[in-house]
Copies of this chain bind each other. A is one copy, B any other.
Amino acid sequence: MATSRMAAARTPRGPRASRARAAAAPAGADRRVRLDLDRRRAQLLELGIDLFSKHSYEDMSIDGVAEAAGISKGLLYHYFRSKRDFYVETVRAASRRLQLLTTPDPALPPAARLRAAIDAHLRYIQEHGPVYTAVYRNGVAIAPEIREILDQHRGVIVQYFLEAMGATKPPPLLRTALRSWMAMVEGASLDWIDNPVITRDALRELLVAGYAALIAKTVELEAEADAANAIRAD
């Protein structure tokens, strides 16, 4: 059970799929087979990111995926129920990958930590621009589950910031400020993919400046609200 959970943590996938597999997993003998399956599945999802970068969802077929993977359609169906399922799981894997890449490095001081995370984000979208754009623009229309994946992704990023601040549940102002900033990052990313007219360094500095301003204003507004409450309490 522990091994199965570890394997699930290593190869990103839907909670339903991993739970189903964990329940079906034999006690220990077939562990190597299962790890092989997990690795194969992860490779297919890697391929998915590449394929959906080059082809639209409509233009992609299960035959095309099987051909690109060099496996039979039957074997592909062993891993994914449908093209739609393959798409959703590919996006989920990309989200996990991006979460890993942008995990704050505690060895760095706060400002450098933010810069490093934004750099990692921008490098990723520079490399995977078409699929990033396709997911944010059309993903939800293809499969409503994409909204959940994107929301969950935002939740993870918020959590990164809160952990750095030693907070758990963000107060309303901070919550709104972080969500606003993330919308800026997403919008700036989509715009930059379409119009890469400024350097990655310049875009990173814009995003850092936006973050700093929103957090400074949040602190100021919270102090004002506290002062007003203190006067009322007198």
A residues with a Cβ closer than 8 A to B are 137-138, 140-141, 172-173, 175-177, 179-184, 186-188, 190-192, 195, 197-198, 202-203, 205-207, 209-210, 212-214, 216-218, 221
Copies of this protein in the assembly total: 2
New A-B pairs, 17, CB < 8 Å, besides A172-B195, A183-B187, A212-B213 = A138-B141, A172-B197, A172-B198, A173-B202, A176-B195, A176-B198, A177-B206, A179-B187, A179-B188, A179-B191, A180-B188, A180-B206, A183-B184, A183-B188, A209-B213, A209-B216, A210-B210
Chain B residues near A213: list those with CB within 8 A. Answer: 209-210, 212-214
Give CA–CA (A172, B197) in the complex, Å: 6
Majority DSSP secondary structure for residues of A touching B: helix
Contact present for A214 and B206 (CB under 8 Å): yes
List the B side residues contacting A173 at CB < 8 Å.
Answer: 198, 202, 206
5 A–B contacts from the bound complex (CB under 8 Å): A175-B197, A176-B191, A176-B197, A183-B188, A210-B214
Q: Which residue of B has the minimal Cβ distance to A188?
A: B180
